[in-house]
Amino acid sequence: MTRLNPDALAAESVDTPSPGLSHLNERGEAHMVDVGAKTATLRAARAQAVVHLQPATLQAILAGRLPKGDVLATARIAGIMAAKKTSDLIPLCHPLALEKVSIDFTPQGADRLYIEALVQLTGKTGVEMEAMTAASVAALTLYDMVKAIDRGLVIASIQLLEKTGGKSGHYLKNKEN
């Protein structure tokens, strides 16, 4: 697991976030947030999904012995594509020119596969939704690739692990949040 480097963010303020919901206007109507006046800065986010599956399924994935082909390569490509299409899926997300998307898979024990997505750009808005979308779609693709042998697979713990950049500064998930 690679941690993000908050020191790499040049001249970024660390103000506390507004207590209000930024996607609601003064009349309480949903709208896309205006980021036009914001300064473009380096922004990054890491998110995860954990897949619980049969030990034999995990072994088959790792050994590349599944009829549909290379499960991890397909899930990785799907996650990357999903990050790039987040604004098409989540109504109020801005379309972003992502500079980096990576998806990593790590077995945990005999029956879990940890998926971590990292998304980065220099821009005016964060990439948390893109990272969570990437991890989610990589997990869903993994399910699709193995459902013939393991319909009991469970996708769990989709969450933001860390984000850097923006007005709210650095966030790192810990046991308290």
User: Six-digit token pair at 81?
Assistant: 């594509």
The amino acid at residue 147 is: K
Q: How far apart are the first and last CA of the chain?
A: 19
Collapse the DSSP code of 148 into the 3-class scheme (helix H, G, I; strand E, B; otherwise coil) and give the result.
coil
Q: Is 34 a catalytic residue?
A: no
For residue 163, what are its two tokens?
A: 């984000």
Q: From the candidates 34, 111, 144, 150, give the one annotated as an active-site residue.
A: 144
Contact 79, 135 (CB under 8 A): yes
Q: Please give the positions annotated as active site.
A: 144
